[in-house]
Amino acid sequence: MILKNKARIVTDQQPHINVEAVLTESERAALHDFMHHYPDPRAASLDSLKHVQKRNGWVDDAQVNAIAQVLGISIPDVEGVATFYNRIYRQPVGRHVILLCDSIACFLMGNESLADVFKKQLGIQYGQTTPDGRFTLLPICCLGNCDKAPSLMIDEDTYGLVSRAQVAEVLEQYL
């Protein structure tokens, strides 16, 4: 069967990104520095994503493409790392990200009722950001803090043995 005018061009070329317009000079320098730490530039993907994420709190598609171009690797390679790691955010998040652990240890120690208190006090559900942009609430599969369950993390601070009564006190620390 001959398909007239139905042929499509398949290419492995990546779209050209104006890296200077997407990444700052210091971000580009950091990415080049990361590449020198690893024998394979793909290994620098996570460090690069974390570094670029610091500017806006998340990484958009243009930044993923620019990182791929700087590292000389494919966009799917960078996208794969970005979507695998649950602390690389691919959409805007609040100024503070609350990660509530839902591992089996936290589940057994009452993470669901703790999550209900957070949701009620913040007025949001998992995956949402408060209207003032202050908090984003997300579940996380394990924080490795099982001996202090239920656990949560806000930004880089880890809390353990958190009770329902302590939620307001914890949130007040992030004004």
Annotated binding site for [2Fe-2S] cluster, which residues? Answer: 101, 106, 142, 146
Q: Which amino acid is at 122?
A: L
Q: Mutual orientation of helices 25-35 and 45-56 as an angle, nearest 10°?
A: 160
Q: Which helix (H) or strand (E) holds 35?
A: helix 25-35
* Residue list for the binding site: 101, 106, 142, 146
Q: What are the phi and psi torsion angles at 70 (to 5°)?
A: -65, -45
DSSP-derived pairing of the beta strands 96-101 and 135-140 = parallel
CB neighbour list of residue 130: distance below 8 Å, 6 or more residues apart: 94, 122, 123, 124, 136
Per residue, the 3-state secondary structure of 92-150, as one string, reads CCCCEEEEEECCHHHHHCCHHHHHHHHHHHHCCCCCCECCCCCEEEEEECCCCCHHHCC
